[in-house]
Structure 1
Amino acid sequence: MAVLWIPSIRNATAFHLERWRKVCADPSLQRLPDRIETNRYGHVVMMLPPGFSHTTRQSATFAYLLTAMPSGASVEVAVLTEDGIKGIDVAWISENRVKRGLKDDVLTIAPEICVEVVSPGNTRQEMENKRQLCFAAGAEEVWFCDQKGALHLFLKGSEAMVAKASMLCPSMPKRVKV
């Protein structure tokens, strides 16, 4: 019986960065209003643009981080994870980490703080998976902003338990005003 030869991914980082370059250069994908990520196989995953309430919570979280930690706050950050390139809604990343991890406009190391704004269509499993992916990619903290603006903070070392406060931004309130 003959075995079908199928190539394997030898260097996941190089594979995903090359795939991301091709996705970003594709004119048909550039015209789409949707958000795009990739999965672990390099396949394009499209999502609807976020709704107004999502972007309002995203903006409020970003504005607070920008005030509390002005150098390093950002939105819509592309991060290489074990499951492909994922978009992080809001992030705080040190200059040193940017220097070490930025390749082709994608972070190969997660920002220290990764914030995900929960949308009505998100499931618990999806958000738990995103939290695990961020920590595996090097995040120190992962925050979820729920639909009422409440922040749920998770810290490296106790990733499954909600923390009382951020270690990196202790002044961050428990709720963002929207």
Structure 2
Amino acid sequence: MDDTSAPPEFPNANLKIPVDLFVSKKHHGLRFADASGDLVFSVDIQSSNSTPPRRKRVLDASENPLITLYRNHNGSWQGFKAGDTEEYLIFEVERTPNSPGRTEFEVVLVGEHSEDSNSDFKMKGCPSQRSCTIYRGNSIVAQTSLMYKLGIRRLFVTRRRFRLTIFPEFVDHPLVVALIVIFFDGRKLWI
């Protein structure tokens, strides 16, 4: 045997891995934490005279606003990117007719974020199962799932906590968080 041979190469060693965020409800909104429990994003529910509140903000870990969500009276949503002095529209979301037990939305990017007027993303899933998959074309951008504990003893994990997996091909994590907030809005999980 020759000891001067090169170390083995692993062709997939440089591939990025998916990012898992753990979602939980807190007193005044939602919390998206990493595997270490460190806050990555939070969602602040803006108080208003309307019930349910129609404005929510996605914040980074330092509580800087990233995206503001507005729910229109017809049930559609608009997402605005927070700027230095003003906000500008980046996407619109409409619920699509679907089969019983399934919820589906179409997401259209607006302005400089959009190259055509077709739906850029689709969200499909079952809110009661904390199941949502976000697609861009035929690719999966992100998925949610309930958390389960494995082992000899069964531990109860509340349905108010679940996992959000964002796949490495998609880098706009605040947009994914905003879409998840819209998908689950009005469900028992949320305020």
TM-score, normalized by length of structure 2? 0.26
| Higher Cα Rg, which structure | 2
In proportion to residue count, which structure has more strand?
Answer: 2
In proportion to residue count, which structure has more helix?
Answer: 1
